[in-house]
Homo-oligomer: A and B are copies of this chain.
Amino acid sequence: MKDHYDIAVVHGDGIGPEVCGATVEVLRAALGPSSPLVFSEHPAGADLFVATGESFPETTFAACRAADAILHGAAGIPGIVHPDGTEAGLDFTLRLRFELDLFANIRPIRLFDGVRSPLAAVKAGDIDYIILRENSEGLYAARGAGAQLRGEVAVDTLVQTRRGVERIVRKAFELARAGKGAPADGVKRVTCCDKANVLRSYAFFRSVFDEVARDYPDIEAEHALVDAMAMHLVLKPGHFNIIVTENMFGDILSDLAAATIGGMGLAPSAEVGLSQGLFQAAHGSAPDIAGKGVANPYGTVLSAASMLEWLGGRHDDARLTEAAKRIRQAVGTAMQEGMLSRDLGGVNSTVEITRALCARLAA
């Protein structure tokens, strides 16, 4: 337990400042006047790139590295790109992932009461699993490194290492053992999602998975090909508990999964390594609705709850773990009572939702 925790807050682009601002208010309300969180704000993003030629200043990077945890809004403005065509605003997330070795991207997929799933056959409680996305290698290892020759050919190389696969698979089994997620049949299981039938790197991923699985005889271990998995997440989402997969597949599947629980607005994400964590909603910067006061803050608020849980666990600080629980409850109740932003089919503004959460947390 520490006296205080430095939280580096980076608003980023689009709706980033709105959802980040809302979340900091919620955190303050949850922890009260004696809150151990100390917030500092730092610039990064595509807007900054346009203004200064730099998307991720070294001072911001240093502050993130030194902080106890990083809270991020959203980044990127379509069309603001580097010479190789990749987006400038994404440097922040991608550089932190790789340089701070945030190898585990934890994306809980849960259908809240009060939110309508686009899937006809499911109701609240039917969907409650975690996509554990490998976040430090896979196809993303090629980022900034692929080649393009004379406009004739472009290549990117997918890399999977034993160390990288082993640690993410182990994390998956630990999450299952800790009782995270709630599959319909109550069976603790980890599903390895790959394309082992066609590609050697994924066959390798699967073989390492099989090895690690032997250390967890109490947890059911199974395989699914990525194409079949995309189908399963629509047809039988209740089956899953923890899904572990390569970086690129995790990117695709977690957005798909978010769609089944009401859209990206609700999907939190925690990207953690051994000593640092980045917490941000899985959604983008939604420049089209930025500044209009209608952004959905739930994804970022839930990500901040994951931040408190992670910090609390790491520093053995019950104040934080406790606050994390209360925030999640407040979110659950708010949604149940119909406090919904437009993307969820509701009418509430960012400010209304934030006030509702703060009022409940202060009570």
Chain A interface residues (CB < 8 Å from chain B): 76, 81, 84-87, 90, 94, 116-121, 139-140, 142-144, 146-148, 151-163, 195-207, 226-228, 230-231, 233-235, 248-249, 251-256, 258-260, 263-264, 284
Instruction: With both chains docked as a complex, state the minimum distance between the C-beta of A148 and any C-beta of chain B, in angstroms.
Output: 6
B197 near A76 with CB under 8 A, answer yes
The interface residues of chain B lying within 8 Å CB-to-CB of A263 are 231, 235
Contact A195 B85 (CB under 8 A): no
Known A-B contacts A162-B152, A256-B230; the reply to A198 vs B86 at CB < 8 A is: yes
* Separation of A204 and B142 alpha carbons in the complex (Å): 14
Q: Which residues from chain B contact A248 at a C-beta distance below 8 Å?
A: 195
CB distance from A89 to the nearest CB of B (A): 9
Copies in the complex: 2
Contacts of A153 in B (CB 8 A): 159-162
Taken together as a complex, chains A and B put the C-alpha atoms of A111 and B246 apart, in Å, by 31
- CA gap between A259 and B260 in the complex, in Å: 13
Given that A118-B120, A252-B252, A256-B230 are contacting pairs, would A197 and B87 also be in contact in the complex, using a CB cutoff of 8 Å? yes
**Contacts A86-B200, A259-B234: A162 and B151 contacting too (C-beta < 8 A)?**
yes
* The residue from B154, B158, B161, B256 contacting A256, defined by CB atoms under 8 A apart: B256
Q: Report the Cα distance A140→B199, complex, angstroms.
A: 7
Whether A201 and B264, one on each chain, are in contact in the complex, defined by CB atoms closer than 8 angstroms, is no
Contact B207 A230 (CB under 8 A): no
- Assess whether A199 is in contact with B139, with CB atoms less than 8 Å apart: yes
Inter-chain contact A154/B251, CB cutoff 8 Å: no
**B94 touching A198 by the CB < 8 A rule?**
yes
Measured CB to CB, the closest approach of chain B to A220, in angstroms, equals 17
A231 and B206 in contact, given A158-B158, A162-B153, A200-B156 (Cβ under 8 angstroms): no
User: Can you list 9 A-B pairs with a CB-CB distance of less than 8 A?
Assistant: A85-B206, A139-B158, A142-B200, A144-B200, A148-B200, A152-B163, A156-B157, A227-B252, A235-B259
Chain B nearest CB from A99 CB (Å) reads 16
Q: Nearest residue in B to A94 (C-beta to C-beta)?
A: B198
Q: When A85-B206, A227-B254 are in contact, do A200 and B154 touch as well, CB less than 8 Å?
A: yes
On whether the beta carbons of B198 and A140 are closer than 8 Å, the reply is yes
Central interface residue in A120, A142, A230, A233, by most chain B CB within 10 Å: A230
Q: How far apart are the CA atoms of A81 and B202 in the complex, in Å? A: 13
- Please state if B200 and A146 are interface contacts (CB–CB under 8 Å): yes
Q: How far is the CB of A346 from chain B (nearest CB, A)?
A: 16
Note all chain B residues with C-beta closer than 8 A to A206. Answer: 85
Q: Tell me, rounded to whole Å, the shortest Cβ–Cβ distance linking A85 to chain B.
A: 3
Query: Among the listed B90, B147, B227, which residue makes an inter-chain contact with A200, where contact means beta carbons less than 8 Å apart?
Result: B147
Report B-chain residues with C-beta under 8 Å of the C-beta of A94: 198
